[in-house]
Amino acid sequence: MSSANAPRHSPKPSHGARLVLIGLGVVLLGLAAFGIIRRVHARHELTDATDRNAVATVVTLTPKAAPMDQALTLPGTVASWQDAQIYARTTGYVAKWYVDIGAKVKKGQRLADLDTPDVDNQLLQGKAQMRTDEANENFAKVTADRYEKLVTQGLVAAQTGDQFVAQYRADVATVEADQANVAHLQNLEDFKYISAPFDGVITQRNLDVGALVDAGSTGSNLFVIADTSKLRVYVDVPETYASSVHIGMPTEVSLNTYGAQPVTGTVARTADALDPNTRTLRTEIDIDNASQSLVPGVYANVKLAVSTTGRTYIVPANTLLFRGEGLRVALVDSQQHIHLQPVTLGRDFGNTVEVVSGLDDQARIVLNPPDSLYEGQPVNLAKNDAAAPQSAAK
């Protein structure tokens, strides 16, 4: 067989070429693995950033303890020392009235006169009936005395004498009844003159000449009189401060109508029991008004030096959460989770409020909490948490 017809074999790659191919494959695999690792790392970073952004960042502060001894200012109502509504005690017509509203009157001073024709006639009839019965009594007495003598002498039966004595005693009782009736009618007659029950000022006049007035308090009052020589100021003290209020405590009463100059008063009496509806103690403060410069009915601010029985705190008003279940503040616990704490408020100072229960010295309160906060929610604390207490929650 000739060499020209022998089969031709392909040349095998050299050892160096194989090493190049293997290196190229390794490089490609490395590039592919690097790309996969970068994508996985980027995905993990995105997930971590998303989780971090999903946790709210909040600013907290600790509550400020309120002083135990403090001045408490409460709204009060000013009333006269005493006042009375004057009604007619007898039925009649107004004949004349002597004073009008604003008039200062003395005790016993005549205020008005009534014309009472019915009572006048009843009084005349009662007196006439009493005179008749007195005559009958006198005659019965003479007859009874005469028959008592006859009985003693044995001229008439004892029973007959007893009958006349009994008749006399009945006539005596009749006269006594007449005297009581005449006294009653005389009182009604005297009540036609309306007089002031005490020194004071007339604040209402509800009658005119010729008007019919009925006896008793079923109709309209004729006058209202008030004694303003002293004034009473009524104020309701909250339960927290009730125990520090005592009789004789000095107070300052500011009457807005009469400028900023306070009026000095003293606690005269308290109800000594809390109102179950408002949980407040009704307190009365007496003010001297001899100069008659003050009038009842005005609005007053009463300043009391009181002390609290428990620990109270002052917090910003923008830490409060108003929920359907009640007032809450958001606290951050040691694991940085939210706890919605119920609180009870005391006084309102505008930008700040007093919390009388629900907080302690270590509480971390969320400032300006979002409405979306819920119980147990994890949160992050702002880096400038202690330095910027007025920052808003993110």
Q: What is the pLDDT of residues 338-380, one digit of tens each?
A: 889 899 887 777 888 888 888 888 888 998 888 888 888 888 8
Number of Cα atoms under 13 Å in the Cβ half of residue 18: 4
- CA separation for the pair 113, 97 (Å, rounded): 6
pLDDT at 389: 39
pLDDT > 90 fraction of the chain, expressed in percent and rounded? 28
Distance CA 352, CA 340 (A): 19
Mean pLDDT for all residues in the chain: 83
pLDDT of residue 15: 67
How much is the average pLDDT of 295-312?
Answer: 80
- CATH-assigned architecture of domain 117-191: Orthogonal Bundle (1.10)
Instruction: Spell out the residues 6+ positions from residue 284 whose beta carbon is closer than 8 angstroms to its own.
Output: 232, 233, 234, 267, 268, 269, 270
Higher pLDDT, 55 or 224: 224
Q: Is the pLDDT of residue 25 over 80?
A: no
Ranked by mean pLDDT, the top range of 8-12, 15-19, 176-180, 294-298 is: 176-180
Q: What global pTM score does this model have?
A: 0.58
Rounded (5°) CA angle 274-277-280: 35
Query: Rounded distance, CA 374 to CA 330, Å?
Result: 9
Look at residue 311 in the predicted model and tell me its pLDDT. Answer: 77
**Most confident residue range from 223-227, 292-296, 303-307:** 223-227
**Which CATH class name applies to 56-67+311-381?**
mainly beta
Separation of alpha carbons 312 and 347, rounded Å: 10
**Rg of the chain on CA atoms, in Å:** 50
Distance CA 68, CA 62 (A): 18
Most confident region among 129-138, 214-223, 249-258 by mean pLDDT: 129-138
Phi, psi of 317 (to 5 degrees): -65, -25
Confidence of residue 393 (pLDDT cuts 50, 70, 90): very low
pLDDT value, residue 48: 61
- Min mean pLDDT across 88-102, 177-191, 350-364 is at 350-364
Higher pLDDT, 156 or 384: 156
Q: Where are the domains of the chain?
A: 56-67+311-381, 117-191
User: Quick one: pLDDT at residue 312?
Assistant: 82
Residue 261 has pLDDT above 60, yes or no: yes
